[in-house]
Structure 1
Amino acid sequence: MECTIDWGGPEGMLFVARTGSGHVTAMDGAPEGGGSNLAPRPMELMLAGAGGCAAYDVVLILKRGRHEVTGCQVELDAERAETDPKVFTRIHFAFTVTGRNLPEAAVERAVRLSHEKYCSASAMLGKTAEITHSIHVVEA
């Protein structure tokens, strides 16, 4: 896996990332940090990556189990350390999974498997952060 980051120049703190898979995303800082607030902060993207990784796992596990999943949302709430490096110290993943006749136990299992076995992002973040999760199953 590879990625290239280019700085937008001396007028601010805008950075453009080009991924090895050929995609582009931007990152920026808050105005008080020299940024222009044009894009997500790098740490927000790390949090989004963990949420995307976990949601991907949950949907894939449920589909492989032949469950009729029709929607998956995960809201993340995180706290960071007060001092540098301001690592994540707590992250809560709140899953809302929608489907037809979707057993709550199957969703709980999928979330647990993601957290304990498959999600590389939360495994890394779990080295500094307490990771918790909750689920809400909605009938489609």
Structure 2
Amino acid sequence: MATQKISLNWKEGVYFESEGPGGIVPIDGSEEVGGQGKGLRPKALMLSALAGCSGIDVASLIKKMRIDVDTFDIDVEAELTEEHPKFYHKVWVNFNFYGDNLNEKKIEKAVTLSVDTYCGVMEMFRQFATVETKINYFPKK
């Protein structure tokens, strides 16, 4: 069974650096708890992990499926519960593809494979939140 490990290193105040496979990520708290805006907040980092996981899948599938895409980005928005401990209970993931000759059928297949089969972070989110996905197509930037 595969395992992963990170080390969280306290730097000052509520600023930390998370070191793991491939690099270091700065993490900081909100201003209300003494944060200074030096890094991502922990909950936002979860949304970044979701977008990153699916983005890596889609980028890999675009290459394998030889899909002509100028570029793409992923926007994630989430709603927190009102009671403590606050957690995401609704999540919206928008896949935005840019190009002049987009093959929407192939792009939809790539996104669906990521969302339904490959992205483990997406599956983790489904354990505690309703996740909605949408694909948007735009002309070349």
**What amino acid maps onto 1:50 in structure 2?**
L
State the match for 2:86 in structure 1: 86
State the match for 1:13 in structure 2: 14
CA distance in 1, matches of 2:95, 2:56: 12
Q: Structure 2 stretches of 5 or more lacking a match? A: none
When normalised by structure 2's length, the TM-score is 0.88
Root-mean-square deviation (CA, aligned residues, Å) is 1.5
CA distance in 2, matches of 1:77, 1:89: 11
* C-alpha displacement of 1:34: 2.5
CA distance in 2, matches of 1:82, 1:91: 15
CA distance in 2, matches of 1:85, 1:54: 26
Alignment map for 1:1-140 (pairs within 5 Å):
1-9=4-12, 12-21=13-22, 23-99=23-99, 101-140=101-140
SS in 2 for 1:110: helix
CA distance in 2, matches of 1:20, 1:57: 18
CA distance in 2, matches of 1:103, 1:68: 7
When normalised by structure 1's length, the TM-score is 0.89
* C-alpha displacement of 1:102: 2.2
Change (3 A) 1:113 1:35: same
- The alignment-based identity, stated in percent, is 29
* C-alpha displacement of 1:45: 0.9
CA distance in 2, matches of 1:33, 1:66: 47
* C-alpha displacement of 1:73: 0.6
* C-alpha displacement of 1:92: 0.7
Number of aligned residue pairs? 137
